[in-house]
Amino acid sequence: MTDTLAIELDAGPEVADEAMAVMHRAFDEYTAKGETAGVMLETPETLRAELAQGIRLAVVRVDGAVVAVAKHQPTDAGLRYFGRLGVEPGLRGRGLAGALVRALRDDARAAGLAGLTCTVRAAEEGNIALYQGLGMEICGHGERVSRTGAVIAVVEMRDA
């Protein structure tokens, strides 16, 4: 049996419940490690409110089911920022995140933007390596305050 993969870069509010469930499962690993993740305070309603304010939602579907997600929007610097990229834990390692990042980049460039940018927890060496393998580089270091109030060390990345 072959999986049917589809990427939708501008999913609407009708996908909010399914997308938020994927985000929660994807980011639950932080809770399991005793760490904080602001996404766990988000709900389908808060996601729908963000979509109404112009944030876009990208989803990857396998056989019709949402299995990977990311929020994205253009920046004042002429790039597309993406965040909250999450993949169903049981489907990691199948190239879904890479496919989503490539689709976001292609769409950004088609829209006249220079490429992508994102923020990654500095401790997430695997995610950093994934994005570097997709042509991004670290362009800064800093800290972010999570919605939970926790201060998290991050790296800023952008297309090389």
18-58 confidence digits (pLDDT tens): 999 999 999 988 877 777 788 888 999 999 999 999 999 99
State the average pLDDT over residues 89-101.
Answer: 95
Domain count, the chain: 1
CATH assignment of the domain containing 32: 3.40.630.30
pLDDT tens digits along 131-151: 999 999 999 999 998 888 889
State the average pLDDT over residues 114-137.
Answer: 96
Dihedral pair phi/psi, residue 92, rounded to 5°: -70, 155
pLDDT for residue 1: 43
- Report the largest interatomic distance among the alpha carbons of the chain, rounded to a whole angstrom: 45
Q: Which domain holds residue 135?
A: 5-159
Measured between alpha carbons, how far is 145 from 125 in angstroms, rounded to an integer?
A: 20
For residue 99, what are its two tokens? Answer: 């496919």
